Amino acid sequence: MIKKIIKTLLVITLILIIIIFYLSFFGVKTAKFNNQINNNVLKVNKNINLSLDKVNYLLNPYNLTINIKTKNPQILLGDVKLDIKDVKTNISLKSLIYGQFLIDDLQITTNEIKLNDLISLARSFQNSLQLSILNKMTQGGSIIANIKLDFNEIGKVKKNYKITGTVKKAKFNFLNQSKVRNLNFDFDIRENFYLLKQIDTEINSIKITSPLIEITKKKSLFFVNGEILNDSTEFNIEKFKTFFTSLFQNINLKKIEYKAVNKFSFNINKKLKFNDLKVETNLDLKELIFSGKHLKLKPYFKNFVEEIKFKKHKIVINYKENIFDIKGKGNILLGDKLDSLSYQIIKNNNILSFNSKINLKNNSLLIDFLDYEKKENISSLVSIKGNIDEKDKLTFDLISLRKKNNEILIKGLDLKKNLEFVDIDSFKINYKNNQKILNKLELKKDDLNFIIEGESFDASKMINNIMGSDKETPFIFQRVKSKLKVKIKKIYIDEVNYMNNLYGTINFDNNKIKNLKLESTFPNKKTINLSIKTNNYLETTTRLFSTYPKPLIKRYDFINGFEGEYLDFYSSKKDGISNSVLIIENFKVKEVPVFAKLLSLASLQGIADLLTGEGIRFSEFEMNFSNQKGLTTIEEMYAIGPAVSILMNGYIESKKLVSLRGSLVPATTINRSIASLPLLGKILIGDKIGEGVFGVSFKIKGPPKDLKTTVNPIKTLTPRFITRTLEKLKKN
């Protein structure tokens, strides 16, 4: 009996061992428990149904669990079907015996499924605003995932879950501003940690790759850091125009070609708000082209074509807390010639700071109001440091130009938005200009006023401006409301003539010269005085008086060769129009080709011969003229002398055309005419044929360097000629 019992137990034990062995190695396929599995899944999420075929059950005798595996099931989420490659899970044998069927863990391997379908599955677990926005932004793509989940006693997912997989050809559209296409990457998702690897995509047609992006959850924030690479590409400006306009408002970008390595990090909260963004970009800039029209560089660089080009620049860009820090160096083209440039630009909120150095060698540089020119193939270092504030006020802390022993240095220069002058701390020059004249002086600020003093300065352009131009007076400090004291040892008025010890004061008010008084002495002890006044009606009057007019008259091409005893110049200017009077007493004219030709054509050879010797003397010269927008109109120019008298009018279009006409009469004829005024008719007509010819009428016309002269004899003097002559004789 005992043997039978033992034998029976051994058989049962053997059968159990065989069953356990079979269930452990081969398992059982059945659909019997499908409903129970589905019911347990519904406990996790009531919106999810599983479509299962036969399920393979495999016993694990060590921990008394059953491993459940199924092939090609489907997850049903409404009308959406997610194709699954296989599902694995373990259930407690005890739970199975007592009908509690508890899922311990779950492993899911998917086939390639749509990205939007996966987002829908995620929303079934937690329908957040972020997932809703992400679903709207997602326009395509697929995903393959391996999901491993562990559950606690009440069916909640434990924190040791792991999700890995691959995203292929994803498409996103962010607020119609940025379009992401062909996004591919591998991912590894764990509790509070997200890893994206081998990323490549196109953002607004720009190809971008990234070896790694890490996302770590810290409390309610997600910390993101990674690296983005992009190959050499031409940037599509139009697609990022809004971004660049907000960053650099006055820069019109036309072309960018570059490759870059970008390291970045930032925090993002559950409401998709960013903070603590940090970006470091190492940029290999092949070419950058932007419009420089608003910079108004054409007067300084003759080859400038309203475009600035950067070529072969190495740039490092750092961004942190609304601060852009850009450092770079490379080549710059202001026309068709390359020069080297280094720079740093910092944009802190609405304040833009800059510090740049350019080694000008191949490009020329012209500073017209200083008569300074740096020619091509001569090295010159230009340094510029300053900032632009939120009101677009431009401040130059430093502007420096150095070329061998030459230097132009400006400190503390403030300009308004329209480049009007506001203030300056100091201005120092030490250079030789185009006429090889040394310009060495310094402008210094003294409280609210200024002092300008120095060894020498070429003021020829300023004097030209005062004596006839319709342009604004080219003082660099003309926008200051203050007082300027002047003390300069030597002032050149042309390449040869100069004055000693220029001194005086200039008062500025409301952007105008309110009152100016300057005095100086020529080497021959002759004097010169200049005064300028502006009244409350914005009318400016200028008075220039000199007992040595020769160097001043030289600047009038059409009356070149004058030597006079004194000069008196008066001008009144308002609304861009000036009316002037120029008077010269006791002077001689010599070496004037046009005048000599005029006299020869008039058969006044005796007078013409005087031009090759001592010259023709005049007792008085007076010219009334006006200037407006480059046009000089001579209402009347009258000169009377013992040999000849002239009455002339016309106009001169600056550097383009001269057109003058008038009358020229020998003094003997004038004297004879005036002495016989009671018998004027007889004198004008004459008793004999040819006796009544008094002089000539003439015309001078053409470009300044190619004047044509025509002459016709006159038999009658114009009433205007006789009237002006009588006025002068009566005055004398």
- Asked whether residue 342 is domain-assigned, the answer is no
Domain boundary among 111, 140, 156: 111
Q: What are phi and psi of 424, to 5 degrees?
A: -155, 145
Q: Is the pTM of this model over 0.85?
A: no
- 410 close to 395: Cβ distance less than 8 angstroms: no
Whole-angstrom distance, CA of residue 413 vs CA of residue 443: 12
Q: Are residues 596 and 725 in the same domain?
A: yes
Q: What is the 3-state secondary structure (H, E, C) of 608-668?
A: HHHCCCCCEEEEEEEEEEEEECCEEEEEEEEEECCCEEEEEEEEEECCCEEEEEEEEEEHH
- Asked whether residue 36 is domain-assigned, the answer is yes
pLDDT (tens digit per residue) in 552-606: 776 655 455 566 678 888 999 888 888 999 888 887 776 655 666 666 555 555 5
Q: What is the pLDDT of residue 679?
A: 42
Domain boundary among 548, 566, 600: 548
pLDDT (tens digit per residue) in 171-189: 888 766 668 888 899 988 8
Tracing tokens 């347990």 back to the chain, one arrives at 40
What's the length of the chain? 732
Q: Are residues 683 and 588 in the same domain?
A: yes
Q: Are residues 592 and 726 in the same domain?
A: yes
Q: Are residues 31 and 87 in the same domain?
A: yes
- Asked whether residue 592 is domain-assigned, the answer is yes
Domain extent at residue 632: 583-731
Residue (of 276, 251, 243, 278) closest to 262 by Cα position: 278
Two structure tokens written together for 533: 């006044």
- Asked whether residue 265 is domain-assigned, the answer is no
Q: Are residues 727 and 589 in the same domain?
A: yes
CA distances from 115 to 50, 111, 181, 551 (A): 19, 12, 14, 87
Whole-angstrom distance, CA of residue 254 vs CA of residue 468: 43
CA distances from 637 to 633, 651, 724 (A): 11, 11, 11
Two structure tokens written together for 705: 């360097």
DSSP string, 305-354: -SEEEEEEEEEEEEEETTEEEEEEEEEEESSS-EEEEEEEEEEETTEEEE
Q: What is the pLDDT of residue 564?
A: 65
Tracing tokens 């030709």 back to the chain, one arrives at 597
Tracing tokens 């054409």 back to the chain, one arrives at 298
CA distances from 607 to 420, 536, 599, 644 (A): 54, 50, 7, 8
Residue (of 680, 665, 679) closest to 724 by Cα position: 665
CA distances from 385 to 20, 356, 357, 438, 587 (A): 85, 6, 9, 27, 53
Two structure tokens written together for 153: 């006693």
Q: Are residues 529 and 597 in the same domain?
A: no
Tracing tokens 């660099």 back to the chain, one arrives at 476
- Asked whether residue 83 is domain-assigned, the answer is yes
182: amino acid identity, one letter? N
- Asked whether residue 727 is domain-assigned, the answer is yes
Q: Are residues 541 and 600 in the same domain?
A: no
Total domains present in the chain: 3
Q: Are residues 513 and 603 in the same domain?
A: no
Q: Which residues contact 569 (CB under 8 A, 6 or more apart)?
A: 467, 542, 543, 544, 545, 552, 580, 581, 582, 583
CA distances from 394 to 78, 412, 633 (A): 63, 10, 39
CA distances from 712 to 71, 407, 663 (A): 118, 57, 10
- 435 close to 471: Cβ distance less than 8 angstroms: no
- 476 close to 421: Cβ distance less than 8 angstroms: yes
What is the C-alpha radius of gyration for the chain, rounded to an integer number of angstroms? 47
CA distances from 718 to 648, 652, 684 (A): 12, 24, 11
Whole-angstrom distance, CA of residue 548 vs CA of residue 493: 12
Two structure tokens written together for 79: 């009308």
Q: Are residues 714 and 601 in the same domain?
A: yes
Q: What is the pLDDT of residue 474?
A: 42
Burial class of 248 by CB neighbour count within 10 A (0 to 12, 13 to 18, 19+): middle
Domain boundary among 53, 86, 111: 111
Q: Are residues 477 and 589 in the same domain?
A: no
Whole-angstrom distance, CA of residue 163 vs CA of residue 108: 9
Q: Assign 28 to helix, strand or coil.
A: strand
Whole-angstrom distance, CA of residue 303 vs CA of residue 314: 25
Two structure tokens written together for 295: 């910079």
Taking the CA atoms of residue 264, residue 268, residue 272 and residue 273 in that order, the dihedral angle to the nearest 10 degrees is: -90
Two structure tokens written together for 398: 């430093």
Residues of the chain scoring pLDDT < 50: 468-479, 558, 675-693
447: Cα within 13 Å, side-chain hemisphere = 3
Q: Are residues 587 and 539 in the same domain?
A: no
Helix, strand, coil % in the chain, rounded to nearest 5: 20, 55, 25
- Asked whether residue 223 is domain-assigned, the answer is no
Q: Are residues 587 and 723 in the same domain?
A: yes
Q: For 522-643, where are the E strands, in sequence order?
A: 527-534, 540-546, 562-574, 577-589, 616-628, 631-640
- Asked whether residue 161 is domain-assigned, the answer is no
Whole-angstrom distance, CA of residue 126 vs CA of residue 625: 88
Whole-angstrom distance, CA of residue 343 vs CA of residue 330: 9
Q: Assign 268 to helix, strand or coil.
A: strand
Q: What is the pLDDT of residue 690?
A: 38
Residue (of 638, 504, 530) closest to 583 by Cα position: 638
Whole-angstrom distance, CA of residue 547 vs CA of residue 564: 8
Q: Which residues contact 343 (CB under 8 A, 6 or more apart)?
A: 326, 327, 328, 329, 354, 355, 356, 357
CA distances from 69 to 36, 51, 59, 90, 109 (A): 14, 14, 11, 9, 11
Residue (of 661, 659, 632, 657) closest to 647 by Cα position: 661
CA distances from 416 to 83, 208, 391, 477, 484 (A): 67, 42, 9, 14, 21
Two structure tokens written together for 720: 């205007």
Whole-angstrom distance, CA of residue 696 vs CA of residue 686: 17
